[in-house]
Amino acid sequence: MKNKYSIFSLIKNSFTYHENWQKAWRDPEPKSSYDVVIVGGGGHGLATAYYLAKEHNLKNIAVVEKGWIGGGNTGRNTTIIRSNYLWDASAALYDHAIKIWENLSQELNFNVMFSQRGVLNLAHNQHDVRELKRRTHANRLNGIDCEWLDTKQVKEFCPIINCSPNIRYPVMGSTLQKRAGTARHDAVAWGYARGADSMGVDIIQNCEVKGIKRKGNTIEGLETTKGFIKTSKIGVAAAGHSSVIANMAGLKLPLESKPLQALVSEPIKPIIDTVVMSNAVHAYLSQSDKGELVIGAGTDSYVSYTQKGTHEIIEGTLKAILELYPIFSRLRMLRQWGGVVDICPDASPIVSKSSIKGLYFNCGWGTGGFKATPGSGHLFAHTIAKDEPHALNAAFNINRFVSGDLVDEHGAAAVAH
Amino acid sequence: MFIIKCPYCGDREHSEFSYGGEAHITRPKQPTELSDDQWAEYLFMRKNIKGLQYERWNHAHGCRRWFNMARDTSNDKIHSVYKMGEKPTK
């Protein structure tokens, strides 16, 4: 059992110079067999293991991760959380996640620093205005808080935005979701890892999957760099590498993996207390608690697993940032990095069974998976445990690419694909 | 940033080109006879390979011609460039 984190444990451990904190999770060697093996120790995979143990009473679970937990896209995103998606199925999916986010720190006894500071989505032309007003109405019909701000209200809500009518793409209004915001990305992985570990889940790092063994149409186990692991159920939450795992089982997925970049500035004093996104000019930004501006850039157009993008993408994003916020013209950028995102043709995720019995996929979250982490794990756990989807992820099955029942969210996905 | 050797124009920066996805996917000869599964396979399913991939590119800001390329998606190294209709050299 884990010791509870509290003000008292903080004081107690300060007497020993914080050198005797209990390990947040164990570092076990893999057992020879498990009931369920989750491939991918990011937020989605760890949350899945957590809910499998907590809500479905499964105890013999492993998470295998080829690197270290939270070292992939969980640690590389811009931490934005919102649920203002257009279609009913997506709105329900992402809002399910926000509802879990709202109590997540208490539930995990781990501060995920969820901050409901609001998210603006700016409109820069008549088409944007119409589309975003439509989305505002659609959100309200689905019970999601969303309001429309005109240019003057945008300036009042976030004074550093350049609202001059003379810029190339003037701000003509914005949507605002006040329940939206940010969270500490590492803490989400660590909190779920600690929670899952305390219920007996084995989190096995530096363990890369090399092959999937199947007998006919049934899963028998997986080959890893730490040996063969026998299991009848595999849940793949491998983000950009989902297709690589699928290919091992002889499947193809409707995914393309592309580099997506982000960057942070040198730290400055608090200047922006919300998140501002702009699809049309492709600039989005918020400020971390350390004071860095966190800036999301776009995807490159080609398939690549390099975890680095091209310079022109950053140049385009920074041009847009500087037009919207001339105040940042002399700010220096501190770090830049890339992640590999798996994008579906309809910009919606896949949380689904596959044509192979015992093989499940949670992928295709593309450029916006972080926001869904708790909801994604919760629904994927249900899908694996019951061998059928939860009502909230039924629409996000692989078969929609055969039936044609796509969930087209390119408009709300924010990063242009 | 990488340099692509257009088979018609020579070495150019990759930003002059647009990506056309996986190559050598043949359009069905009898579209009316395809099942839904076969349509899904043709339209959506991709190998999305980590490693050597055969893909199409268009020199959008140059000669505007299409061609094929063999590139390793794990390190963006280009192995060969060949014209439409030709077979990959490697």
pLDDT of residue B42: 96
What are the tens digits of pLDDT across the range B20-47? 999 999 999 999 999 999 999 999 999 9
Q: In angstroms, what is the C-alpha Rg of chain A?
A: 21
pTM of the model: 0.96
Q: What is the Cα–Cα distance from A194 to A54, expressed in whole angstroms?
A: 13
Site from B44, B53, B74, B76 to mutate, A interface, most A CB atoms within 10 angstroms: B44
pLDDT of residue B90: 60
Q: What is the Cα–Cα distance from A245 to A249, expressed in whole angstroms?
A: 7
Q: What is the Cα–Cα distance from A293 to A280, expressed in whole angstroms?
A: 20
Cβ atoms within 10 A of the Cβ of B28, count? Answer: 12
Percent helix, strand and coil across chain B, each to the nearest 5: 15, 40, 45
CB B55 to CB A302 under 8 A? yes
CB B14 to CB A301 under 8 A? no
CB A302 to CB B19 under 8 A? yes
The answer for A255, left when phi > 0, alpha when psi is -120 to 50, beta otherwise, is beta
Q: What is the Cα–Cα distance from A54 to A89, expressed in whole angstroms?
A: 25
Kindly give the parts of chain A with pLDDT less than 50: none
Tell me how far CA of residue A155 lies from CA of A35, A122, A172, A313, A376, in angstroms: 54, 11, 11, 27, 35
What are the tens digits of pLDDT across the range B48-83? 999 999 999 999 999 999 999 999 999 999 999 999
State the average pLDDT for chain A: 96
Query: Can you tell me the ipTM of this complex?
Result: 0.95
Element of type H or E holding A248: helix A242-248
Judged by a CB distance cut-off of 8 A, whether residue B56 touches chain A is no
Which member of A304, A306, A345 has the closest CB to residue B44?
A345
Longest dimension (CA), chain B: 43
3-class DSSP assignment, residue A115: strand
Residue found by looking up tokens 């998470």 in the block: A63
Which member of A305, A310, A402 has the closest CB to residue B50?
A305
pLDDT of residue A416: 58
What are the tens digits of pLDDT across the range A326-338? 999 999 999 999 9
Q: What is the Cα–Cα distance from A216 to A11, expressed in whole angstroms?
A: 57
